[in-house]
Amino acid sequence: MSHVIVTDPPRADLVDVDTLAELGVATVHEAMGRVGLGGPELRPSQQGARIAGTAVTVLSWPGDNLMIHAAIEQCRPGDMLVVTTTSDSTDGMFGELFATALQRRGVRGVVTTSGIRDLAELRAMNFPAWSAAVHSQGTVKASAGSVNVPVTLGRVVVRPGDVIVADDDGVLCVPRSEVSTAIAASKARLHKEEAAREAFRKGELGLDRYGLRPVLADLGVEYVAAETYYGG
Amino acid sequence: MSHVIVTDPPRADLVDVDTLAELGVATVHEAMGRVGLGGPELRPSQQGARIAGTAVTVLSWPGDNLMIHAAIEQCRPGDMLVVTTTSDSTDGMFGELFATALQRRGVRGVVTTSGIRDLAELRAMNFPAWSAAVHSQGTVKASAGSVNVPVTLGRVVVRPGDVIVADDDGVLCVPRSEVSTAIAASKARLHKEEAAREAFRKGELGLDRYGLRPVLADLGVEYVAAETYYGG
Amino acid sequence: MSHVIVTDPPRADLVDVDTLAELGVATVHEAMGRVGLGGPELRPSQQGARIAGTAVTVLSWPGDNLMIHAAIEQCRPGDMLVVTTTSDSTDGMFGELFATALQRRGVRGVVTTSGIRDLAELRAMNFPAWSAAVHSQGTVKASAGSVNVPVTLGRVVVRPGDVIVADDDGVLCVPRSEVSTAIAASKARLHKEEAAREAFRKGELGLDRYGLRPVLADLGVEYVAAETYYGG
Amino acid sequence: MSHVIVTDPPRADLVDVDTLAELGVATVHEAMGRVGLGGPELRPSQQGARIAGTAVTVLSWPGDNLMIHAAIEQCRPGDMLVVTTTSDSTDGMFGELFATALQRRGVRGVVTTSGIRDLAELRAMNFPAWSAAVHSQGTVKASAGSVNVPVTLGRVVVRPGDVIVADDDGVLCVPRSEVSTAIAASKARLHKEEAAREAFRKGELGLDRYGLRPVLADLGVEYVAAETYYGG
Amino acid sequence: MSHVIVTDPPRADLVDVDTLAELGVATVHEAMGRVGLGGPELRPSQQGARIAGTAVTVLSWPGDNLMIHAAIEQCRPGDMLVVTTTSDSTDGMFGELFATALQRRGVRGVVTTSGIRDLAELRAMNFPAWSAAVHSQGTVKASAGSVNVPVTLGRVVVRPGDVIVADDDGVLCVPRSEVSTAIAASKARLHKEEAAREAFRKGELGLDRYGLRPVLADLGVEYVAAETYYGG
Amino acid sequence: MSHVIVTDPPRADLVDVDTLAELGVATVHEAMGRVGLGGPELRPSQQGARIAGTAVTVLSWPGDNLMIHAAIEQCRPGDMLVVTTTSDSTDGMFGELFATALQRRGVRGVVTTSGIRDLAELRAMNFPAWSAAVHSQGTVKASAGSVNVPVTLGRVVVRPGDVIVADDDGVLCVPRSEVSTAIAASKARLHKEEAAREAFRKGELGLDRYGLRPVLADLGVEYVAAETYYGG
């Protein structure tokens, strides 16, 4: 593997990015066909944040933040930094000094499979982070890595310029080439969900709304009175 | 295993259920003889909720929410939905559309060994959830399962109609047949705790209050001055 | 192993302890040479607490809180209780009754590798706790252990009288003999960080500030335009 | 919870138990409708063991083996000891001295959600054990528990007298009342599996044998040539 | 996501595949620049296997083996099946019936992020498997997935036709386009390793061989006699 | 933290070390008062090894094996290398080239909280390793660490010259100053165990041998016939 810093990757359009932020992780994930999620270990630093940005990706050696420094120079307004390591690590690779530099450049947040620190300061700055750990463990600047190469967040591959959507429910990657389709499908889903919400508020059952009674019957699921099942 | 939806299980009395909610998980657990807890992986969706309800149980295939739809029809005011899967899963089986339908039916909350999503919406609705994961991963409606059969939450077996108590400390199951005993024992404990709290506020030591000095002596625990133990 | 309760260990000076609290976990950890942290599994019971205290250490049998009772008598104002077990446990060894007794004695908080309970009450009392689990599981008072012997929090050894610093970022131990050095180094670091913060706010890059461009070059990291790297 | 030692529970018939051992965990589990398994964390102490026995259950305090001593007296030839704890523990609750006593009484093996030790000796004695951990951590004899009450292994509830089947694939519980049904269904499955095995050896595909081509079509799964899908 | 079965992907050359098997996971991984590994959770079903094959990839719904049936038809001699799920699962998706069908088609082994079962039979057949779990939990055939789409094993993306190398040390993916480079680099590394092995056997130190003494000095690592460091 | 390589620490006597190896992990651990164990995550690379050696300790940066090179020079016949990292890591820091160099110097084995690789080769060389992971992930030689400083294995602190005992049951540290006491206590325990083994072989019960019947009675454990407890 040669180590590279890839410059000026094309990004998704920021108008689309903002639309995806409003739609939120769960809705866009469903609309895309239930793909694109980072794992459940990625938790937010603060409640209630719902943002999206274009990915600048970092692949670092564990315990080493050198490549984050290199990545910051590649960031533009509307970006979101995605930091991964070549093997498992919980070190606190990201903290408020990086956040300060990123906020100056218009970056909206960070996602990392490693750890973050300076949690109180990040909250005070309103710079949201999603991470697999909170840990103060400091890092060095000694080993090579890459910027803007494809990286993985759990099962999803993130490429630079892809859209990262993140909220209380976790982190989603929308590939740049699928942004328009994702938005259209999400809006359609939103309408469907709103109709379902209204129906459920009025007492309709999913069993009826989605035609699930025959599914249950076909699967051999039987209704039994409790007094029969558990005895008199 | 035949798959069944058991209807109309007898429930614990809601007056008792509300009493147990006030008593809280830790107190009732202690009073019952230190049994009945779900595991520490079950964490609440929002701080400060303390509720109880009668269990409607769901046993689902992993990645499949069909049986939750079937379970909703079985719910009554005062119930609490308990969703488990036949093998480990972190999928987001439960979200705000289900919560909407359940809230309409007077259901008070949900507990799941799987994942939840729409966290912001669940908080806004004030519909509390206890889960082992927060994850947006969507599910299908393709495989059979059961409703109102006995299920396990960690080491505890939950039967339909049992009381589920849940708060910031986790989730507790009080078997329907033990509700009266549990309430009586919890109230007695509450008085004992209040007396202890007062004594501790005044400076009494647990060593004296609970007669533990002879216990330490019998176990051979010795007092040693630091300068003796660690050297001068 | 003989079981002992070591009395009157010398403590770090409380003026220094308070200074370390203000400096916070991440800064002092870095200033000490990136050592002294408990693991990322130690999470706080409430957001925003930042405290420090002198360690009173407890080594308990799993599922047994006898030695916490013994430890309370050894506590003084400014202390912090550090509770570990001889093998892994998530039991709720610590709750509000212990907190009441400790608060009466001027103890500032608790750190445990085991579980805590009464989370709502601990928050209401403003008695912060850092723990590896929240679990209501009750404990007995039957087995011997020790007080004020050296214990481990993750990779760090804590001795009685050492300073425990704890905040949203986790838990740090500053050995009593290193307190002055740690404070001096932390203050120096604070100034360096403030200067970096200012520089980053103005748009300077870490690459330039820390002289990292030649490091990248030496490591063979190359800059490549996206259209070259990913194709036209 | 009152602590009890339940004596002389009825056991499943040993002829049936031996039949279930021959059938093995995976086959019986499938034949029972895909239920009854302990979790994947239960791993064997030695390769190639495949046994079954009637359960004598133990519920112990973590770090305490007192109730194993009590349970041994309750064991008979053909039994299998099932040891659980009231909360998570990896302590080495079971070793070769217990195995010696059990082997003398005709007990066939042990299953525990906690830890085992003396692994080399257990292998030399040919006394197989399934456990969630191997750890030497010693235990005390200080706290109450119960013998022959229902206990849980992962999602499955084990009652005394139930059949425990254990092999390289893990641990299965066959409720005493379902033994005959399970054997009949397992034998039927065995024949079906043998036929499938023969067919697969000859090159038949599961797609055809199980009629799955229309299932794929109904689910909208499409065949695409690689050169179309990935480009020329 | 549309679900597809991609047919006839180009495969790496089997002569090269066999060369990579001989070289082994650790050597090829190092030679490729320390990339390409599946995670440490992928463990082999039997000691001493060292194989390689061309990947046929499967993306299944958790708890569902439908797509494995579909994948078998796509397999050719020299292939290796790579089975992943859309979310975390430990179910026993793969057992000896599948192995029988695959062995008939000349497939060499299987890798799965989920569970396997029939461990004794797989060993007897000499059909090696690498998996994240051993569990008997049976699966259904109800939900759509894909065959021969890119999938992830930990941090590595596997594409159909890539080479999977697997041995006691884990699982490695060599992208089809990098096979020649990987082989050349691995052979070079092998020679370097053999020379190092000889030197180490004769007592040369890595410190000298790799010129590390100045590295230590530059990093400020100092030599101190124990009696100075620990006191007299 | 200044980084140091401590030279010539005093070691425990090799005659004693060999005696401890014969006694084994579980026996010595019990005899020492149930202390000194590394955690259950430390598993052996090969079945049946039972060795002991004097500790040479290494504290490395995660993903970096520089300090292992430095440590090898400090090793003598009869030593055992103990490798830890400053934060969690599963990287394959140790493999057969290191083993070759160590075997040349008379080192007996390695223990690491990180990962090992070249498992087949280590087995073929009969160089046993205990580790928390098997992973091929390669490491760099870029960051400072220390040799022969105190390190932690789980809850135990290992100092250079201490005795490491390791077998199928795990890893134990016997502090150098406690070697004689540990040997004496272990031999006494061995005799007690042999007597117990004989008694158990003849059918005596632990309940009687250890006088546990009154303990059960005092704890309120009651005997109940199954037909009373479970109903007729």
Q: Write the pLDDT tens digit of every residue in B129-154.
A: 999 999 999 999 999 999 999 999 99
Query: Looking at per-residue confidence, does D177 or A232 come out higher?
Result: D177
Please tell me the distance from the alpha carbon of residue F124 to that of residue F95, in angstroms, as a whole number. 12
Whether residues D215 and D174 fall in one domain: no
* Model pLDDT, residue D2: 87
| Residue E215 in contact with partner chain F when CB distance is under 8 A | yes
Quote the minimal CA–CA distance from D124 to chain B in Å: 33
Average pLDDT over residues B1-17: 95
Q: Give the nearest partner residue to F157 out of C1, C87, C157, using CB atoms.
A: C157
Give chain C as a 3 state SS string.
CCCEEEECCCCCCHHHHHHHHHHCHHHHHHHCCCCCECCCCCEECCCCCCEEEEEEEEEECCCECHHHHHHHCCCCCCEEEEEEECCCCCCEEECHHHHHHHHHCCCCCEEEEEEECCHHHHHHHCCCEEEEEECCCCCECCCCCEECCCEEECCEEECCCCEEEEECCEEEEECHHHHHHHHHHHHHHHHHHHHHHHHHHCCCCHHHHCCCHHHHHHCCCEEEEHHHHCCC
Out of B39, B152, B154, name the one closest to residue D157 (CB).
Answer: B152
User: Both C143 and C203 in a single domain?
Assistant: no
Q: Which helix (H) or strand (E) holds B107?
A: none
Residue of A nearest to B146 (CA): A221
Q: Domain check: are E169 and E141 in the same one?
A: yes
Which whole number is the average pLDDT over C184-191? 97
**Mean pLDDT value across residues C92-106:** 98
Question: Does residue B193 contact residue C95 with C-beta atoms inside 8 Å?
Answer: no
What pLDDT is stored for residue F150 in this prediction? 98
- Same domain, yes or no, for B142 and B211? no
Query: What confidence tens digit (pLDDT) does each residue in F62-90 have?
Result: 999 999 999 999 999 999 999 999 999 99
- Report yes or no: D229 at the E interface, CB cutoff 8 Å: yes
> Could you tell me if residue E27 is inside a domain?
yes
Nearest Cβ partner of C212 from A104, A117, A141?
A141
pLDDT at E222: 97
Annotate D94-120 with b (16+ C-beta within 10 A) or e (fewer).
bbbbbbbbbbebebbbbbbbbbbbbbb
Q: Does A225 touch chain B (CB under 8 A)?
A: yes
Give the closest-approach CA distance of D155 to chain B in angstroms.
6
Mutation pick from B59, B67, B88 vs chain E, by most beta carbons of E within 10 Å, is: B88
**Residues of chain E with confidence (pLDDT) below 70:** 1, 232
> Does E136 lie at the interface with B, CB-CB under 8 angstroms?
no
Summary mean pLDDT of chain C: 97
Per-residue pLDDT at A1: 56
pLDDT, tens digit, for every residue of A36-94?
Answer: 999 999 999 999 999 999 999 999 999 999 999 999 999 999 999 999 999 999 999 99
- Does residue E106 belong to the interface with chain F, where contact is any CB pair within 8 Å? no
Tell whether C143 is covered by a domain.
yes
Find chain F residues with C-beta within 8 A of D148's C-beta. Answer: 226, 229
Stretch (H or E) spanning B37: none
Q: Taking CB atoms and an 8 Å cutoff, what residues of chain A touch C205?
A: 69, 72-73, 101
pLDDT band at B2 (very low <50, low <70, confident <90, very high): confident
Task: Extract the tokens encoding D166.
Answer: 């254990």
Question: Number of C:F CB contacts under 8 A?
Answer: 34
Same domain, F181 and F199: no
Mean model confidence pLDDT for chain D = 97
Q: Name the nearest CA neighbour of F93 among F65, F119, F59.
A: F65
Round to whole Å and give the CA distance between A111 and A153. Answer: 9
Helix axes B96-104, A179-201, angle to 10 degrees: 10
Whether the model clears a pTM of 0.95, i.e. scores above it, the answer is yes
What number is the ipTM of this complex? 0.96
pLDDT (0 to 100) of residue D232: 62
Distance of CA F45 to the CA centre of its chain: 13
Residue C165: strand pairing partners? C52, C172
Predicted local distance difference test score (pLDDT) of residue A72: 98
pLDDT, tens only, D19-57: 999 999 999 999 999 999 999 999 999 999 999 999 999
Q: Compute φ and ψ for F182, nearest 5 degrees.
A: -65, -40
Would E2 be classed as within a structural domain? no
Residue F64 pLDDT: 97
Cα D77 from Cα D13, distance rounded (Å): 12
- Residue A3 covered by a domain: no
Query: Residue A5: which of A53, A57, A77 has the closest Cα?
Result: A57
Domain match, B139 and B222 both: no
User: Measuring CA to CA, which residue among E42, E89, E38, E39 is closest to residue E61?
Assistant: E89
In which band, very low, low, confident or very high, does the pLDDT at F1 lie, cut at 50, 70 and 90? low
Q: Kindly give the interhelix angle for A179-201 and A14-23, rounded to the nearest 10 degrees.
A: 20
Residue B126 and residue B210 in one domain: no
Average pLDDT of F37-45? 97
* DSSP secondary structure string for all residues of chain A: ---EEEE------HHHHHHHHHH-HHHHHHHTTS--BPPTT-EESSTT--EEEEEEEEEE-TTB-HHHHHHHTT--TTEEEEEEESS----EEE-HHHHHHHHHTT---EEEEEEE--HHHHHHHT--EEEEEE-----BS-S--EESS-EEETTEEE-TTPEEEEETTEEEEE-GGGHHHHHHHHHHHHHHHHHHHHHHHTT--HHHHTT-HHHHHHTT-EEEEHHHHS--
Reply yes or no on whether the pLDDT at D1 is more than 60: no
CB atoms within 10 A of CB A225: 11
Kindly report the backbone phi and psi dihedral angles of residue F60, in degrees, each rounded to the nearest multiple of 5, phi listed first: -110, 160
Distance from C-alpha of D73 to C-alpha of F215, rounded to nearest angstrom: 15
Half-sphere exposure for A179 (CA within 13 Å, toward CB): 21
Q: Residue range B30-57: average pLDDT?
A: 97
Say what percent of chain B tops pLDDT 90: 98
* Cβ-Cβ contacts under 8 Å for F55 (sequence gap 6 or more): F79, F80, F82, F158, F159, F160, F161, F162, F163, F164, F173
What residues contact residue F215 under an 8 Å CB cut-off, 6+ apart?
D66, D141, D142
Position C5 in a domain: no
Q: Which residue has the tokens 């070591």?
A: C6
With 80 as the cut, is the pLDDT of residue C200 above it? yes
In 3D space, the residue among B150, B146, B148, B109 whose CA is nearest the CA of residue B130 turns out to be: B109
**Shared domain check, A140 and A25:** yes
Those residues whose C-beta lies under 8 Å from the C-beta of residue C16, and which sit 6 or more positions away, are C163, C179, C180, C183
* A21, part of any domain: yes
Indicate the number of domains in chain F: 2
DSSP lists the bridge partners of residue D83 as D58, D112
Collapsed DSSP state (helix, strand, coil) of residue D8: coil
CATH number of the domain bearing residue D164? 3.50.30.40
F219 and F176 assigned to the same domain: no
Q: Residue C137's pLDDT band (boundaries 50, 70, 90)?
A: very high
Nearest to D61 among C63, C86, C88 (CB): C63
Are A5 and C196 in contact (CB < 8 Å)? Answer: no
Chain E residues with CB under 8 Å of B140 CB are 61, 142-143
Query: In this predicted structure, what is the pLDDT of residue E25?
Result: 98
Chain D contact partners (≥3 CB pairs within 8 A): B, C, E, F
Average pLDDT, chain A: 97
D46 touches chain C (CB under 8 A): no
Convert the pLDDT of each residue in B64-109 to its tens digit: 999 999 999 999 999 999 999 999 999 999 999 999 999 999 999 9
Nearest Cα residue in chain E from A38: E87
| Confidence category of residue F206, pLDDT binned at 50, 70, 90 | very high
Looking at the predicted structure, is the pLDDT value of residue F232 above 80? no
F167 and F107 inside one domain: yes
With beta carbons under 8 A apart, name residues in chain C contacting B205.
69, 72-73, 101
| Percentage of chain A lying above the pLDDT 70 cut | 99
- Whether B1 sits inside 8 A of D35 (CB atoms) is yes
**Composition of chain F by helix, strand, coil, percent to 5:** 35, 30, 40
B-chain CB neighbours of E91 within 8 Å are 62, 87
> Do strands A151-153 and A146-147 pair parallel, antiparallel, or not at all (unpaired)?
unpaired
Please give the share of chain F, as a percent, with pLDDT higher than 70.
99
Enclosing domain of residue A220? 195-229
Query: In this structure, is residue D4 part of a structural domain?
Result: no
Q: Say whether both B22 and B126 belong to one domain.
A: yes
One domain, residues D114 and D225: no
- Which of E87, E93, E137 is best to mutate for the B interface (most B CBs within 10 A)? E87
Q: Does A1 reside within a domain?
A: no
Torsions phi, psi of D115, nearest 5?
Answer: -105, 160
Mean pLDDT to the nearest integer, A163-171: 98
Task: Output the average pLDDT for chain F.
Answer: 97
Q: Which chains touch A (3 or more CB pairs under 8 A)?
A: B, C, E, F
